[in-house]
Structure 1
Amino acid sequence: MRRSTGHPRVRWSRRGAAGLVVLLALALLAGCAAGPSQRPPVAVRGELLPAAPPPPAAQAPADPDRLPEAEPLRSGPPFADCTDDVLAGLAAAGTPVPEGRTLRIGCGRLTVPADRNRPDLGPARLGLTKVTAPGAPADLPALVVLGDTGVDGSARAAARLAAQLPDPVLQRYQVIGMDRRGTGEDLLDCAPADARAALLDAGPERGDEAAMSALLERSRSIVQDCYLLLGGQLTSFKAAGSADDVEALRTTLGLARLNLIGVGDGADAAAGWVAGHPGAVGRVVLDGPGDPTLDEPARTEAVTAAAESAFDAFAGACATGPDCPLGPDPRASVRRLVDRLSGTALPVGDGDSLTAGATLRAVRTLLSQPSRWPELQTALAQADAGDGAGLARLLAPLGGPQGRFDAALATRCNDSRVRATPGEAAARAADWDERFPLFGVAAAQDLVACGPWPSGGQVAPATPQGSALPPVLVLGTAQDPRAPQSGAERTAEQLGNGRLVRWEGAGTGAYPRTPCVNAVVGRALLEGRAPAEPVVCPP
């Protein structure tokens, strides 16, 4: 969404950014202020993790389908009540707690090294959320949630998941969400507003090499500003860092084995932790991981094909409904809207305007959440009628002030090794525009957006070495816009003891959205039994 230059420039809110580089950067970037935390004050459990090694895990059970017992939780960081604040946030995000479900929510923090290989960079502080049913015992086993950076911080994702969990699961566990780096309370917000808007607003008409070169320069200014502020911490926003953070949380909780649900790219990070710490694996669900065998551009190509398929599901759900606001052919309606906005952006007030690129971003973001598809359908129809306010509201959590765009960009770029030149991106745009008519050019633009970033390292779960790995549930959704179903298949293969569950549904995260998946995951979490053979669940 194109924005007026009068908006304030809000910078990254992490306190404790280390070293002289950061101090110099803060001096250079005068006028940049950290936003206040929305969480209540809580105690911090030390500046760094305890040096003692984690407790040894018990041996894996002899039964090949048996999962380790869920341990009672005996320790952990302090939590302060934040029920009203988190529930209000869920309601504002369009995912309120269902009627009849009551939750008790506490907020805390986990302090970890910004980079375990660079002690000079100091600590990072990650938001935690503990969610239980009212009156739940304090020693219930922990079920940790690691969410997707493109949707929300994991701490809030834990509350959203807890609101949907079957009653027996919520009664058996306390759900603990840990924010991914750069999300939630510890929001990464370091990009110049105009450069961020340029990437968000880039439309399908900007696929030539000259346009790609211009986007590369915009991305370079993002890297420069973020590096001035963060220095060496810029490369810590990645799946490998989150995998380390999961192990840090296990140590802090004092658990021999950790029960864990990873969703979207949170499943990628969780898979990396599983491969690196097989002896610490408890009851683990990887829900919608990407394909660990792919790097760029093959990875983006696979994800873009998945997004087009998810849009077909979205369009079909609308067209077969009783009153689709997008008419009998939703794909054609959206295509006409995008083509019109490519010529003239739609004013939405305060000097802002809705562009074709922003519209596609909003569509692709909401495809991951089928519960919000009616809201997206209505907003698209209103934009077609000349009112873009609804789409602008949907896009604000991603690209607005205090949005998720910077963290999602940093994580995606840091988790890939390959960089594309403007010429290569333009060639991909021409090819993908034919094959993926809605999202192809935008996908190629995302490739060039990573061009100036330091080359990262993809986390690919290998077959765990050493301790025996208990069964790990790996869920793949047929029409997931953020990961092809082959991602779950390859992840299960590489882990060696992954138990594959295919759901023929749509959206990111299959659990707990269908009775078949709920039954399989429920047996794992409640009875400690994994399926002996792959499972296919109907839509």
Structure 2
Amino acid sequence: MPLRAAVSTGRLAAVSTGRLAAVSTGRLAAVLAAALCALLLAGCAVGPSQRPPVAVRGEQLPASPPPTATEQPADPDALPRTEPVRGGPAFTDCTTEVLDGLAADGTPAPAGRELQVGCARLTVPADRSSPALGPARLGLTRVTTPGAAADLPALVVLGDVGSDGSARAAAGLATRLPDAVLERYQVIGMDRRGAGEDLLDCAPADARAALLDADPGGSDEAAMTALLERSRAIVQDCYLMLSGTLTSFRATTGADDVESLRSALGVARLNLLGIGDGADAAAAWAARNPDSVGRVVLDGPDDPTLDEPARTEAATVAAEAAFDAFATACTARPDCALGPDPRTTVRALVDRLEVTALPTGDGDAVTAGATLRALRATLSRPERWPELEAALAAADAGDPAGLVRILAPLGGPRGRFDADLATTCNDSRVRVSPGEAADLAGQWADRFGLFGVPAAQQLVACGPWPSGGPEPPASPQGENPPPVLVLGTAGDPRSPQTGAERTAERIGSGRVVRWQGAGTGAYPRTPCITEVVDRVLVDGRAPAEAVVCPP
């Protein structure tokens, strides 16, 4: 159930301030159809949405280049010194707005923690290789303790596209950070392309609904071909709306954006925390800009040595492991709402919804496909597992309200679906045909009881997208950066724990920490992880050897 409501036959086009202007794409599509098909078949190069210059919160480009990077310490475990911020946009106070939003989302600041939040935007090139495409603007959030100095060293947070945006993620993280980190840094979140204030919203509502609601029982070639056509409609509409900038929603562009922010802040070396696919972008930045690397933590990166379908297969193994961790946490209590065997309960619910979707009372319904999407998305956030448990149990009893609340920010109007799909497809180079996807669905349905068929359907959804570009180099170019801490979580539904190991090898100076927990983003959720990361961020010391942390 992707919550198709609130979309009229007049199409919606995104503009820079997040407002929507109604436009009719029917006549435009008719005029441009032939040229568009030719461009798509040619695998044309495209990039992010463009925004006309407007006066917004303190956006600013640096007037001069930042200072030259200092020499790396001779001690192999020592990290570069932190530097005061020397520039950047002027932040305007948005404390009440942001903290109230976090509280409404169930993540309020703990009692006794006072935070001050500022908001701004950063202007970056839409595509560094194509200056004619103009600028893009990304939301920034600066979080400090009240009265903190404006030139405190910056800790930049780059979050997962599937979240509400890095700027909001930074504020949520600041509510949980150790005091020593908040005293040392100003925490600056920068939105990824297509997320947060720059939300990507270009897919036709019916095509988006078809992918969100994809029947997990539809695993044959005909069903996969139907999904391919729906995805083709998304590519066509997004291409028309974004005026040739579609492929900039990807990790490498995120790496360029990080470098733009470093320059704007006026520092030679940047301290950075990347989470989920934000860690992928941060890893790309570190490999391409080793002299700009300060104290860097990559929390849950994907395996950079894999492409499709191996990458999706590895992520599906991880997602099934995350569900097992969720089920174990539930059954550890005597009142688990999903009974003694949550997997059997959930599988039976999905099977029933394949036959008859659960009406929501507004003409819509929760489908089996949407239920699995809500499940997998929420597994990444263990703090929301009680909510997920209750929502699944209520749906099993005939009440869809809990699942509706979970699904609304995923696939509803102004949801995260478009940016997540664009980033996933743009970051892969291999395209899978409907026949190949059907074969994989048959294999994965047996191996992965919940997420096997949806994973194969996700592969075919990327079929019409332009290729993700050339394969990245197998090893770093030039000198390695200073030691980079790489965290891998055993039950991360987004990526396998081996992603941390392969990322560390590719960077050349990675120090791996394996956490036997679950969810996306290990820091600062356990004392062991927190101690290791704080030694990096506060003390400037990387672990000399690999570390394993218990659940």
Assess if the C-alpha contact under 8 Å between 2:4 and 2:205 holds in 1: no
Partner of 1:76: 88
Partner of 1:20: none
Matches of residues 303-322 of structure 1 in structure 2 within 5 Å?
303-322=315-334
Are 2:399 and 1:398 equivalent residues in the alignment? no
Q: Tell me how far 1:206 sits from its aligned partner.
A: 1.1
Partner of 1:361: 373
Assess if the C-alpha contact under 8 Å between 2:486 and 2:503 holds in 1: yes
Q: Tell me how far 1:95 sits from its aligned partner.
A: 2.3
Please give the alpha-carbon distance, in whole angstroms, between the structure 1 residues aligned to 2:279 and 2:216: 30
Please give the alpha-carbon distance, in whole angstroms, between the structure 2 residues aligned to 1:459 and 1:151: 27
- Taking every aligned residue pair, what percent have the same amino acid on both sides? 70
Per-residue CA deviation, residues 224-267 of structure 1 (Å, 9 max, x unaligned), is 00000113210100000000000000000000000000000000
Per-residue CA deviation, residues 263-305 of structure 1 (Å, 9 max, x unaligned), is 0000000000000000010000000000000000000000001
Aligned AA for 1:240? Answer: T
Are 2:132 and 1:131 equivalent residues in the alignment? no
Per-residue CA deviation, residues 297-343 of structure 1 (Å, 9 max, x unaligned), is 00000000100000000011001113111111101110010000000
Aligned AA for 2:298? Answer: L
Aligned AA for 2:141? Answer: T
Assess if the C-alpha contact under 8 Å between 1:275 and 1:462 holds in 2: no
Assess if the C-alpha contact under 8 Å between 2:300 and 2:497 holds in 1: yes
Are 2:474 and 1:424 equivalent residues in the alignment? no
* The one of 387, 400, 412 aligned to 2:399: 387
Per-residue CA deviation, residues 478-537 of structure 1 (Å, 9 max, x unaligned), is 110001000000011111110000011100011000000100111111110000000001
* The one of 382, 403, 406 aligned to 1:370: 382
Distance 1:402 1:469, change over 3 A: same
Aligned AA for 1:478? Answer: A
Distance 1:236 1:324, change over 3 A: same
Are 2:249 and 1:237 equivalent residues in the alignment? yes
Give secondary structure in 1 for the equivalent of 2:243. helix
Are 2:279 and 1:267 equivalent residues in the alignment? yes
Give secondary structure in 2 for the equivalent of 1:359. helix
Give secondary structure in 1 for the equivalent of 2:175. helix
Q: Tell me how far 1:355 sits from its aligned partner.
A: 0.3
* The one of 429, 453, 467 aligned to 2:465: 453
Partner of 1:323: 335
Partner of 1:201: 213
Partner of 1:484: 496
Partner of 2:104: 92
Partner of 1:334: 346
Please give the alpha-carbon distance, in whole angstroms, between the structure 2 residues aligned to 1:189 and 1:458: 27
Partner of 2:57: 42
Distance 1:403 1:3, change over 3 A: closer
Partner of 2:486: 474
Q: Tell me how far 1:461 sits from its aligned partner.
A: 7.0
Q: Tell me how far 1:15 sits from its aligned partner.
A: 2.7
Give secondary structure in 2 for the equivalent of 1:328. coil
Partner of 2:12: 11
* Bigger shift: residues 424-433 or 315-324: 315-324
Assess if the C-alpha contact under 8 Å between 1:492 and 1:500 holds in 2: yes
Matches of residues 15-30 of structure 1 in structure 2 within 5 Å?
15=16, 28=28
Please give the alpha-carbon distance, in whole angstroms, between the structure 1 residues aligned to 2:241 and 2:149: 43
Matches of residues 488-503 of structure 1 in structure 2 within 5 Å?
488-503=500-515
* Bigger shift: residues 92-101 or 494-503: 92-101
Please give the alpha-carbon distance, in whole angstroms, between the structure 2 residues aligned to 1:136 and 1:27: 54
Please give the alpha-carbon distance, in whole angstroms, between the structure 2 residues aligned to 1:238 and 1:220: 19
Aligned AA for 2:16? Answer: R
Give secondary structure in 2 for the equivalent of 1:136. coil
Give secondary structure in 2 for the equivalent of 1:526. helix
Aligned AA for 1:89? Answer: G
Q: Tell me how far 1:26 sits from its aligned partner.
A: 10
Aligned AA for 2:375? Answer: V
Are 2:240 and 1:224 equivalent residues in the alignment? no
Aligned AA for 1:259? Answer: N
Assess if the C-alpha contact under 8 Å between 1:272 and 1:461 holds in 2: no
Assess if the C-alpha contact under 8 Å between 1:10 and 1:401 holds in 2: no
Distance 1:319 1:363, change over 3 A: same
Give secondary structure in 2 for the equivalent of 1:15. coil
Partner of 1:283: 295
Partner of 1:140: 152
Assess if the C-alpha contact under 8 Å between 2:487 and 2:514 holds in 1: yes
Aligned AA for 2:385? Answer: W
Please give the alpha-carbon distance, in whole angstroms, between the structure 2 residues aligned to 1:229 and 1:322: 52
Assess if the C-alpha contact under 8 Å between 2:480 and 2:507 holds in 1: no
Assess if the C-alpha contact under 8 Å between 1:383 and 1:391 holds in 2: yes
> In the comparison of the two structures, how many residue pairs are matched?
523
Distance 1:497 1:174, change over 3 A: same
Please give the alpha-carbon distance, in whole angstroms, between the structure 1 residues aligned to 2:346 and 2:186: 42
* Bigger shift: residues 175-184 or 314-323: 314-323
Give secondary structure in 1 for the equivalent of 2:490. strand
Aligned AA for 1:444? Answer: A
Distance 1:69 1:26, change over 3 A: farther
Give secondary structure in 1 for the equivalent of 2:285. helix
TM superposition score normalised by structure 1: 0.93
Assess if the C-alpha contact under 8 Å between 2:302 and 2:500 holds in 1: yes
Q: Tell me how far 1:92 sits from its aligned partner.
A: 2.7
Give secondary structure in 2 for the equivalent of 1:349. coil
Please give the alpha-carbon distance, in whole angstroms, between the structure 2 residues aligned to 1:15 and 1:459: 32
Per-residue CA deviation, residues 194-240 of structure 1 (Å, 9 max, x unaligned), is 10010000121111110000000000000000000113210100000
Please give the alpha-carbon distance, in whole angstroms, between the structure 2 residues aligned to 1:333 and 1:396: 23
**Any stretches of 5+ residues in structure 2 without a counterpart?**
31-48, 50-54
Are 2:189 and 1:188 equivalent residues in the alignment? no
Assess if the C-alpha contact under 8 Å between 2:2 and 2:411 holds in 1: no
Assess if the C-alpha contact under 8 Å between 1:16 and 1:122 holds in 2: no
Aligned AA for 1:522? Answer: D
Partner of 1:343: 355
Per-residue CA deviation, residues 362-382 of structure 1 (Å, 9 max, x unaligned), is 000000000000000000000
Give secondary structure in 2 for the equivalent of 1:125. strand
Aligned AA for 2:463? Answer: G
Aligned AA for 1:11? Answer: L
Partner of 2:258: 246
Aligned AA for 1:180? Answer: R
Are 2:512 and 1:511 equivalent residues in the alignment? no
Assess if the C-alpha contact under 8 Å between 2:3 and 2:411 holds in 1: no
Please give the alpha-carbon distance, in whole angstroms, between the structure 1 residues aligned to 2:470 and 2:169: 24
Please give the alpha-carbon distance, in whole angstroms, between the structure 2 residues aligned to 1:406 and 1:41: 25
Please give the alpha-carbon distance, in whole angstroms, between the structure 2 residues aligned to 1:271 and 1:4: 36
Please give the alpha-carbon distance, in whole angstroms, between the structure 2 residues aligned to 1:518 and 1:99: 20
* The one of 215, 218, 222 aligned to 1:210: 222
Q: Tell me how far 1:12 sits from its aligned partner.
A: 4.7
Aligned AA for 2:28? Answer: L
Assess if the C-alpha contact under 8 Å between 2:429 and 2:471 holds in 1: no
Give secondary structure in 2 for the equivalent of 1:107. strand
Give secondary structure in 2 for the equivalent of 1:182. coil
TM superposition score normalised by structure 2: 0.91
Assess if the C-alpha contact under 8 Å between 1:258 and 1:281 holds in 2: yes
Q: Tell me how far 1:458 sits from its aligned partner.
A: 7.3
Distance 1:16 1:396, change over 3 A: closer
Are 2:538 and 1:523 equivalent residues in the alignment? no
Partner of 2:119: 107
Assess if the C-alpha contact under 8 Å between 1:261 and 1:286 holds in 2: yes
